[in-house]
Amino acid sequence: MSGDEQSPADICRGYLEAFSTGRPEAVSAFVTDDFINEHTAALGGGCVGIEEYRRRLPGFLASMPGLHYDIEEVVAEGKRVFAAYTLRTTVNERPIAVRGVMHFLVRDGHIAHRTDYWDSLVFQRQAGMA
């Protein structure tokens, strides 16, 4: 099924599931050329544009071995989608489980804007960094 045939909620689910592949190209395939990646947490680092996003993805994925998002709930209204999740990974040989919510704007079958809300202090504590 192509992105044009999928609902915005399905596109966002697919995007979150793509992180578990560990493949940057699988993740970036879901975003627009002018993608805006926004983080509200102090540890998050946003960017604009697919090229910058692609440049950053390999390092991010390498820093989060076994990364996957357990999707708790998805709520969609038109092209706006909210997905509650638990991020799971291993950092500093410690298991990490951080809950958060992503707000997406989907345009033409791809994600144009993502705002990620999560608590970086919870992450730091679990990773033994705080």
d(Cα 77, Cα 44) in Å, to the nearest integer? 26
Q: Which run of H or of E encompasses 83?
A: strand 80-91
d(Cα 27, Cα 68) in Å, to the nearest integer? 12
The CATH label, of 3.40.120.10, 3.20.20.70, 3.30.750.210, 3.10.450.50, for the domain at 8-126 is: 3.10.450.50
Please say if the pLDDT value at position 26 is more than 80: yes
Can you give the residue ranges of every domain in the chain?
A: 8-126
Please say if the pLDDT value at position 47 is more than 90: yes
Q: State percent of the chain over pLDDT 90.
A: 88
pTM: 0.92
pLDDT class of 4 with cuts at 50, 70, 90? low
